[in-house]
Amino acid sequence: MNSEFLTALNEIAEEKGLDKDEVLKMIEASLAAAFRKDYGEKDQNPVVELDPETMAMKIYDVKTVVAEVIDPQKEILEDDAKKIKKSYKLGDEIRTDITPKTGTSFGRIAAQTAKQVIIQKLREAERNVMFSEFKAKERQLVTGVVQRIEKDTVLIDLGKATGVLFPSEQIKDEQYKIGARVKVLILHVEPTPKGPKITLSRSHPDVVRRLFEIEVPEVFNGVIEIKAIAREAGSRSKIAVTSLQEGVDPIGACVGQRGTRVQTVMSELGGEKIDIIEWSEDSVKFIANALSPAKILSVDLNEDTKEAKVEVMEDQLSLAIGKAGQNVRLAARLTGWKIDIVGQDLSGGDSSDDQGVEPTTESAGEKPELGQEPDDNHAPDLAEGEMPTEEQQPDETAAKEQSSETSSEEVSEHPEEIK
């Protein structure tokens, strides 16, 4: 190995971001193994040293002086050591030069070994760079191309790597076509000897969060904060939003003029319905908002058990519960409270129908913190019917019609997997 090899090594190390000293150590270890296999003797312990300036190679048989030999390759008795040099004592290291003479075939083996080590290090470096790049994008939305489909598992080309969209992370009944572009969430990235393993998701609540960050500048800039998301992928989501700037309507900004912003998000999710409600630190207010579009009479809280008893008029009961309990189920997840809904009949007595739902943990974000003074709004006004969800009706008859309409909606058979 000559100066040309050293120059090439320096250039490659700089270009690929490799540690030159680390590469040299690997080359030395590989050369020692090659020498031991084809040239060394059984009782030798070859150690290769490369001059970092000239790449000149020296090979030594290295042994430690001991009182009792356990490993003949690496150890030598004190008496035998003193035969070599009287000054040797226990613990000393004896280095005997066993470098092959110039012109032997080991020179060619050394060059080939060094080349293989460098190639190996380059591949490792590229894998590490790729892993770091995608690791930094965890919980971010990226666009990929459907590469192939294997037993309902979708492989998506992300450019430098391929991500995996398992059935559990897909939106129910969503169809994928080879060559189609699709937005996916990078759920998590793991290192493997063959490169990063990238798990993708379309059903995670953070997919909704990232889509709103794309479509709503106020969300992206932090003027509006998404405090919580409850999602049953492919069917319905509820998101709680709040404004951090006076004068900015968080619901109106997320809905957009004539509903354009929220409609864009819904289209990306295959028509999944989205309820946008205003978050409040006041638990009573927040729970009432979360049960929108139903009109709430009262909310009675038990702070110790984290349970809320909610009263609604009889004609609002089915609307508050939702088809198959979806509305109250999502509200419970969104707020973090167990919600019991009781219908109040027109004579003032409680109806016998009630619905109790316990919250489950959502991985979309923080559970809302409680305690801020509420404003005077209750379940949000959906801005002149711009929301694609059930519209609030001004009178009892309209509310009944809305309840009937809600109960006819198609609902996902199971909630998304909790991350």
pLDDT tens readout for residues 142-194: 999 999 999 899 999 999 899 999 999 999 999 999 999 999 999 999 999 88
Task: Compute how many other C-beta atoms are within 10 angstroms of the C-beta atom of residue 110.
Answer: 24
Q: What is the C-alpha R_g of the chain?
A: 34
Q: What is the location of CATH 3.30.1480.10 in the chain? A: 3-134
According to DSSP H, which parts of 17-158 are helical? 20-38, 78-84, 106-135
CA distance 250 to 219: 9
Domain 137-201 has CATH 3.40.50.360: no
Q: What is the location of CATH 3.30.300.20 in the chain? A: 205-407
Close Cβ partners of 197 (under 8 Å, ≥ 6 residues apart)? 164, 189, 190, 191
List pLDDT tens digits, range 354-383.
456 666 544 334 433 333 333 443 334 443
pLDDT of residue 103: 56
pLDDT of residue 324: 94
Q: What is the longest distance spanned by two Cα atoms in the chain?
A: 112
Higher pLDDT, 30 or 302: 302
CATH class label, 3-134: alpha beta
Q: What is the location of CATH 2.40.50.140 in the chain? A: 137-201
CA distance 390 to 379: 12
**What distances in angstroms separate CA 50 from CA 25, 27, 36, 141, 322, one per listed residue?**
9, 9, 17, 48, 75
So what's the architecture of 205-407 in CATH?
2-Layer Sandwich (3.30)
Query: Quick check: 312 pLDDT over 90?
Result: yes
List pLDDT tens digits, range 259-295.
999 999 999 999 999 999 999 999 999 999 999 999 9
- Is the backbone peptide bond immediately before 293 cis, with ω within 30 degrees of 0? yes
CA distance 165 to 142: 13
Return the DSSP state at 332: H
For residue 300, the Cα-to-chain-centroid distance in whole angstroms is: 38
Judge residue 278's burial from the number of C-beta atoms within 10 Å of its C-beta, 0-12 exposed, 13-18 middle, 19 or more buried: buried
| pTM, to two decimals | 0.67
* DSSP, residue by residue, 316-329: GHHHHH-GGGHHHH
* CA nearest to 95, candidates 54, 55, 65: 65
Burial state string for 22-38 with b = 16 or more CB within 10 A and e = fewer than 16 = ebbebbbebbbebbbee
Output the six-digit token pair for 100. Answer: 């092959």
pLDDT of residue 109: 77
List pLDDT tens digits, range 198-257.
999 999 999 999 999 999 999 999 999 999 999 999 999 999 999 999 999 999 999 999
List pLDDT tens digits, range 64-121.
999 999 998 899 999 999 998 999 999 999 999 988 876 567 777 777 877 787 788 7
Torsion of CA 328, 332, 333, 337, to 10 degrees: 180
Residue type, 152: D
Q: Among all chains, which residue has been given the structure tokens 């509820």?
A: 238
* CA nearest to 209, candidates 191, 180, 231: 231
Q: What is the mean pLDDT of residues 395-410?
A: 37
